Amino acid sequence: MTRILVLNPNSTSDVTASMDAALDIVRRQDGVDIVCETLAEGPPGIETQEHVESVVLPVVRYFEARPADAYVIGCFSDPGLALARENLRKPVFGIAESAFHMAAGLGARFGIVAIKRGSIPRHMRNIRGLGLIDKLAGDRPLEIGVTEMGDAERVVGRIVEVGRELRDVDGAEVLILGCASMGGYRREIEDRLGLPVVDPTQAAVMRAIGHLTLGYGKAA
Amino acid sequence: MTRILVLNPNSTSDVTASMDAALDIVRRQDGVDIVCETLAEGPPGIETQEHVESVVLPVVRYFEARPADAYVIGCFSDPGLALARENLRKPVFGIAESAFHMAAGLGARFGIVAIKRGSIPRHMRNIRGLGLIDKLAGDRPLEIGVTEMGDAERVVGRIVEVGRELRDVDGAEVLILGCASMGGYRREIEDRLGLPVVDPTQAAVMRAIGHLTLGYGKAA
Amino acid sequence: MTRILVLNPNSTSDVTASMDAALDIVRRQDGVDIVCETLAEGPPGIETQEHVESVVLPVVRYFEARPADAYVIGCFSDPGLALARENLRKPVFGIAESAFHMAAGLGARFGIVAIKRGSIPRHMRNIRGLGLIDKLAGDRPLEIGVTEMGDAERVVGRIVEVGRELRDVDGAEVLILGCASMGGYRREIEDRLGLPVVDPTQAAVMRAIGHLTLGYGKAA
Amino acid sequence: MTRILVLNPNSTSDVTASMDAALDIVRRQDGVDIVCETLAEGPPGIETQEHVESVVLPVVRYFEARPADAYVIGCFSDPGLALARENLRKPVFGIAESAFHMAAGLGARFGIVAIKRGSIPRHMRNIRGLGLIDKLAGDRPLEIGVTEMGDAERVVGRIVEVGRELRDVDGAEVLILGCASMGGYRREIEDRLGLPVVDPTQAAVMRAIGHLTLGYGKAA
Amino acid sequence: MTRILVLNPNSTSDVTASMDAALDIVRRQDGVDIVCETLAEGPPGIETQEHVESVVLPVVRYFEARPADAYVIGCFSDPGLALARENLRKPVFGIAESAFHMAAGLGARFGIVAIKRGSIPRHMRNIRGLGLIDKLAGDRPLEIGVTEMGDAERVVGRIVEVGRELRDVDGAEVLILGCASMGGYRREIEDRLGLPVVDPTQAAVMRAIGHLTLGYGKAA
Amino acid sequence: MTRILVLNPNSTSDVTASMDAALDIVRRQDGVDIVCETLAEGPPGIETQEHVESVVLPVVRYFEARPADAYVIGCFSDPGLALARENLRKPVFGIAESAFHMAAGLGARFGIVAIKRGSIPRHMRNIRGLGLIDKLAGDRPLEIGVTEMGDAERVVGRIVEVGRELRDVDGAEVLILGCASMGGYRREIEDRLGLPVVDPTQAAVMRAIGHLTLGYGKAA
């Protein structure tokens, strides 16, 4: 059976559980074994560059020790993506890069709901680096910490506020939830704003299934 | 069962058969019913703008008369895509647009093996229109007609020649086969050139499966 | 005598009359025979993609049956432009494409007064396809139907409102009236907003005269 | 009668005569009085930046002293264009800027036949400054001096060589003759290379006629 | 001793004094002789294109008559830059071009505090011409004349207002003071807005020192 | 006294010595204490992504333990740059980023002499991320390992070959030596190819001096 290993590089198991729940929709359609695991040694939330760098080697070592047909790095800063692709013989996907590609195919331009202001420059470098800058309508922050993302009412309210600006001021036709922990709110945001919303974890796993199905090897 | 209807707008059933065979790889993984049909009233090959325009309304009427969960227009000029999206309540995908998006996620820049020189301006307008011009490395023609695509040896030889220029002169990291009829040669070209190769029909069907699985409606 | 045939693909003769009146300014200067005709079988207004596609073949057939030195397609969605250029031995011009080129030469960036929100994506694809995206400042809709464009006071009021945003918020130095039916209001808008305003029909006919005068053949 | 004053800022009257002859094609169609004059105090050829700067104020003073409905600066470095537009109450056109706009509307991308290698950076800055960089296919030099442009056989031979590279290597669909003195060779180059060729002086005068006919004032 | 000659092309000695004071910070670190001089024949302020063109040849002649190791043109319209580079055997720097390069290295995108609305198109052409348009966040005018720049309270108040819009609405991470006369306010603006601010004169002299130190000749 | 700490993250002291020698030119002009040190725990050469990631935290920890006024990361993959900027209270500079900015100010477009083909994608992502893609003419590899860079004759021969293609085929006006170990060859390459050549280590230290002199703090 095809096995896809999704690793949450932060140590908050609630976030892993949320990602795992969001992937049920993929499991229903496909007979693929999708496993979500937590990097115990990771920080509770990945918000600073220190956090990002601290998990790069642990993420890659984690993957190297566990066979799978494809790997997904479950953090919007895509930590360790380049190294994992160099070292592993199987395809590797970052959830941010995958979200950008999925959103590009869902509308003319997309908007990002960033978790904090400080992550916006990282998004910009990633999107420019991918040659997709023409598809970006806007990027605005929630200003809520990763470990507080369980407070549904507050979080949804803020995402809707930010999403409205991305849609009405910046002209976004698609929204990207800019953190693995936001995925559980996708449906509600779609209903409230009337736009397709990309959950990066879903985007990455679906992209992995696509590449595996069509027989694309490690190059991704 | 999820049903995806793929329509070949040209009337050459060999091309439909070739597309259908290329989709077996998708059927193996997914319990989705993928049906390839031929537009009997279409021209034998779609090479001129007259051919393209002549099938726009027939393609859309064909889809409107047949229920499915998603529709794929199986011609690299994506004829009728905008109208189909406006009229149908289900998602619609063009194989060229889908190929550009898949290739974008497979390497830094892609090269297109066009069927004839005359189709290159159409590609350029499509890629620019999608905001993906930064991802294009080159576009070079085979100069072989659609109805001659069954002559394997000659076709493969030419695709390899053209692909080599796209890879070595233009710097393409991924190749797109610029016509539905070329799909059967994908594996051989990958082996000969050492690059991932996109079969547009496979790309579109996989993209459709991705959108349906993740619950994206008609907006695409 | 040089003959330029301008076809209004919608069947509302008031719109044809409005285009014809706007071309008097061209007739005064040039001894060219400019004829505006109505496609009787066209819809009253071209607002949806269905309308656009439904007139593509009729427009081209109409031109093929009538000799002229140049042809102008008088609808901002430029329906049938690519096919007409392929089939006819004389130059063909779309009013949107011509408006974009004229506006590009009148100021650093232009703004479009679109007729409805739904036409904006079509403009974007056209402008990107032309490689002129750097010249676009903004595109905002009037939200008034083609057949209601005769209500001068209401229409001018809305165009001024929208034009003000394009000028002051988006930084447009030139405005384009995004529908053949708006042409009659050009002078009034120029007076009220102090910007040069492009009437697409005038732009296309002047462009045709330019190409014919300088001896450029069918390639345009 | 509408009067368009074209000034050759170099003092070589053969160049003025060549420009004047190229404008006969415009006179035949239009009852506009087009006058070509020579700036006696200008250098024999404008090839260096010193030459360019030395004619800026003389060009503007020349125009200020002579009434006309529009002014054309007949040198591919467009010397004095910005100042002339600021000072004169009538529209002013540079032949390079006009050539870029005309060529943009004649094909997907254009190539420039530059007179000398040293003028290429000036072209690049102008084209980038106009926001038209996406339309440039290539720019290659003849390496023949302005005052030697009368040697038809040698010049045509070189233009054809350079034009061939622009067309076949760089993918240009249109060529621009990058110096006022090259205009007389337009027809021959079109016949030999099968591409539309822009004579900048013709482009500027036609553009002036377009702006005047449509009633655009000094803003251009 | 290395000598850098900075010329203020306007005749207002207060502006020269302000530039000179701003360069003390450079003198403290480097044992380079930096001399600021005034072009007596220049206009009091350089605001119109007429002013710009009128100083081009005087600036170059001024430099040609005075030996130095590098030259800096101290006006944000960089008048005479191209000619000075062609004629002089030493490197020449314009303060606007230098400010754009310095700002590009200080943050993702920069905003310009222009002196008057009329200078904004000139900035745009310069930045596009340099291929740095992706680094521009916004450009907004103070609407205060060059000769009024000594009124500190009023000027600082306006710069802060404009800078706030550039930072909060346009997303600038760095500000450029768009006129040589604004330099003295740099520190205060940095304190008030919390962004790095570029004084173009400082940027140009530091760039000159960099090029001289590393042994780059006239090519710049 | 101002202290700039340059760290070579690879453990080959010959490379550190070469960087140090190249900085003598900077010491002569400035009374700044520039110290080059070697990261003993680093790999002999940084060529793979594994190498890059393995030095990120060591580089930052190294800097955190040593006071300085500015820090320079002496490896063309700029490892640890983002983290160092987040953690340190002083400005930090990567030699690649600094080389791109310096080269941008030395000519219209630059070419990179990459050390190996595998580093080219990293350059592309960096340059796109910086918004400087319009300034890139080409990037071609030497295919010589970091630890073999001491073989002057072979290395210079290859750099000249590659530089010639960048200059004549790709149109580069400036060359960047794409590895800290190439710096010692700068003069010879400039003499042989007649283009300004950027040594990234020199560029970074000069940039640091510029920022410190002008009082720019940690934001860079």
| Band (B133; pLDDT cuts 50, 70, 90) | very high
Burial level of C28, CB count in 10 A (0-12/13-18/19+)? exposed
pLDDT at D219 over 60: no
Contact list in C for residue D209 (CB cut-off 8 A) is 29, 210
Say if residues F198 and F95 touch (Cβ distance below 8 Å): no
Q: Quick one: closest CA in C to E169, which residue?
A: C169
D54 touches chain E (CB under 8 A): yes
Tokens coding C75: 């609808």
What pLDDT, on a 0 to 100 scale, did the predictor assign at position B31? 74
The rounded percent of chain F whose pLDDT value lies above 70 is 98
Query: In sequence order, which ranges of E23-173 are alpha helices (DSSP H)?
Result: 24-29, 49-64, 81-87, 95-104, 120-129, 152-168
- Cα dihedral value A83, A85, A89, A92, nearest 10: 120
Taken in order F64, F66, F69, F70, the sign of the CA dihedral is negative
Closest among E56, E90, E57 to E71, alpha carbons compared: E90
pLDDT band, residue E104 (cuts 50/70/90)? very high
Q: How far apart are CA A33 and CA D195, in angstroms?
A: 58
Sign for the pseudo-dihedral over CA of F60, F66, F72, F75: negative
User: What is the Cα–Cα distance from F60 to F45, expressed in whole angstroms?
Assistant: 18
Please name the residue of chain A whose CA is at the shortest distance from the CA of residue B202: A214
- With bands split at pLDDT 50, 70 and 90, how would you rate the model's confidence at D99? very high
Q: Do A219 and B212 touch (CB under 8 A)?
A: no
Please answer yes or no on whether F108 and E131 come within 8 Å at the CB atom.
yes
Alpha helices by DSSP H, B23-80: 24-29, 49-64
Q: Which fold has domain C2-94+202-213?
A: Rossmann fold (3.40.50)
Residue-level pLDDT at F151: 84
Q: Which chains touch A (3 or more CB pairs under 8 A)?
A: B, C, E, F
Report the Cα–Cα distance between both ends of chain F, in Å, rounded.
21
Task: Tell me the mean pLDDT in the region E130-146.
Answer: 91
Position E145 confidence tier, pLDDT thresholds 50, 70, 90: confident
Which of A27, A41, A39, A115 minimizes the C-alpha distance to A77?
Answer: A115
In this prediction, residue D89 carries a pLDDT of 93
> Could you tell me the CA-to-CA distances from C37 to C9, C14, E73, E164 in Å, in that order?
9, 11, 60, 54
Judged by CB atoms closer than 8 Å, whether chains meet at E124 and C108 is answered as: yes
How would residue C30 be classed by pLDDT, with cut points 50, 70 and 90? low
- Report CA-CA distances (Å) from D181 to B12, B73, D99, D114, D211: 55, 52, 14, 11, 25
Q: Which is nearest to F106 in space by CA: F22, F196, F218, F26?
A: F196
Q: Identify the residue with better confidence: E143 or F38.
A: F38
pLDDT of residue D150: 76
CA–CA gap between residue C206 and residue D73 (Å, rounded): 22
- C-alpha distance across the termini of chain C, in Å: 21
pLDDT digits (tens, 9 = 90+) for B85-106: 999 999 999 999 999 999 999 9
Beta carbons of E83 and D125 less than 8 Å apart: no
Cβ atoms of E214 and F26 within 8 Å: the answer is: yes
Per-residue pLDDT at D31: 74
Average of pLDDT values for C123-146?
91
d(CA D37, CA D81) in angstroms, rounded, equals 17
Q: Is the pTM of this model over 0.90?
A: yes
CA–CA min distance B106, chain F (Å):
13
What is the rounded distance in angstroms from the CA atom of residue E170 to the CA atom of residue E139? 9
pLDDT of A166 strictly over 80: yes
Element (H, E) at A79: none
**Residue E44 pLDDT > 80:** yes
- Report percent pLDDT > 70 for chain D: 98
Q: With an 8 Å Cβ cutoff, is F57 touching chain D?
A: no
Q: Is B49–C125 a contact, with Cβ atoms under 8 angstroms apart?
A: no
With contact defined as 3+ CB pairs under 8 Å, the chains touching D are B, C, E, F
- Rounded Cα–Cα distance for residues C18 and E145 (Å): 47
Contacts of E121 in chain C (CB under 8 A): 108
Is E155:E179 a contact under the CB 8 Å cutoff? no
Q: Is the pLDDT of residue F50 over 60?
A: yes
Across the range A189-201, mean pLDDT stands at 96
CA distances from F74 to E216, F120, F142, F151 (A): 21, 18, 19, 21
What ipTM was estimated for this complex? 0.93
Q: Which among D101, D104, D196 is the nearest to C219, CB-wise?
A: D196
Percent of chain A with pLDDT over 90: 80
Token pair listed for F81: 């740059």
The set of residues, in sequence order, having a beta carbon less than 8 Å from that of E193 and lying 6+ positions away, is E160, E163, E164, E167, E175
Q: Does A169 touch chain C (CB under 8 A)?
A: no
Q: Average pLDDT in the E74-99 region?
A: 96
How close B209 gets to chain D, by Cα (Å)? 35
CA distance B105 to B120: 22
Residue of chain E nearest A125, judged by CA positions = E108
- pLDDT tier at F83 (50, 70, 90 boundaries)? very high
To the nearest whole Å, the CA of F122 is away from the closest chain A CA by 9
The confidence score (pLDDT) of residue D169 equals: 87
- Tokens for F37? 């040190």
Structure tokens at B43: 């021209």
Rounded Cα gap, residues F66 and A188, in angstroms: 50
pLDDT at A147 over 80: no
CB-based contact, C194 to chain E, within 8 Å: no
pLDDT at C28 over 80: no
The answer to whether residue A108 neighbours chain C at the CB level (below 8 Å) is yes
Instruction: Report the alpha-carbon distance of residue E59 to residue E10 in Å, rounded.
Output: 10
Q: Which class is D97-199 in CATH? A: alpha beta
pLDDT of residue D175: 98
What is the rounded distance in angstroms from the CA atom of residue B215 to the CA atom of residue C18?
47
Q: For residue A133, which residues of chain E lie inside 8 Å, CB to CB?
A: 134
Read off the pLDDT band of C1 (50, 70, 90). Answer: confident
Distance from CA of E102 to the nearest CA of C (A): 24
Q: Which amino acid is at B63?
A: F
Q: Mean per-residue pLDDT for E146-154? A: 81
Chains E and F touch (3+ CB pairs under 8 A): yes
Q: How confident is the model at residue E147 (pLDDT cuts 50, 70, 90)?
A: confident
Res B51: pLDDT: 94
The mean pLDDT value of chain F amounts to 93
> D147 is written with which tokens?
């005052």
Query: What is the percent of chain F with per-residue pLDDT over 90, rounded to a whole number?
Result: 80
Q: Is D133 on the interface with C (CB under 8 A)?
A: yes
Contacts of A108 in chain C (CB under 8 A): 121, 124
Residue B44 sits at the chain D interface (C-beta within 8 Å) = no
| Residue D37 main-chain phi, psi, to 5 deg | -130, 160
D159-207 per-position pLDDT tens digit: 999 999 999 989 899 999 998 888 889 999 999 999 999 999 999 999 9
pLDDT of residue E135: 94
The verdict on B210 touching D (C-beta cutoff 8 Å) is no
Domain boundaries, chain D: 2-94+202-213, 97-199
Query: Which helix (H) or strand (E) element contains residue E198?
Result: strand E197-198
Which of E198-207, F16-25, F117-126 shows the lowest mean pLDDT across its residues? F117-126
Whether E214 sits inside 8 A of F220 (CB atoms) is no
C8 pLDDT band (50/70/90 cuts)? very high
Q: If you ran DSSP here, which 8-state letter would residue B71 be given? A: E
Average pLDDT over residues B17-30: 88
The pLDDT tens digits of the residues spanning C184-206 come to 899 999 999 999 999 999 999 99
Contact by Cβ (8 Å): C16, C8: yes
Q: What is the mean pLDDT of chain C?
A: 93
Q: Do A53 and F131 touch (CB under 8 A)?
A: no
Alpha-carbon distance of B29 to A24, in angstroms, equals 17
Judge whether B81 is closer than 8 Å to chain A, CB to CB. no
Tokens of A137: 């309508």
Q: What is the mean pLDDT of residues A110-129?
A: 91
Give which of C63, C85, C128 to mutate to test B binding, by max B Cβ within 10 Å. Answer: C128
pLDDT given for residue A72 in this prediction: 98
Confidence grade of residue B117 (pLDDT, cut at 50, 70, 90): confident
Residue D64 in contact with partner chain E when CB distance is under 8 A: no
Q: What is the C-alpha to C-alpha distance for residues E57 and E8, in angstroms, rounded to an integer?
A: 14
Nearest CA among E185, E186, E176, E202 for reference residue E4: E202
Q: Which of C214, C216, C218 to mutate to test the interface with D (most CBs of D within 10 A)?
A: C214
Q: Helices (H) and strands (E) in chain B — how many of each? A: 9, 8
- Do D210 and C204 form a contact (C-beta atoms < 8 A)? no
Closest residue on chain D to C2 (Cα): D29
Q: Could you tell me which chain E residue has the CA closest to the CA of A122?
A: E108
* pLDDT attached to residue B111: 98
Q: What are the tens digits of pLDDT across the range D59-85?
A: 999 999 999 999 999 999 999 999 999
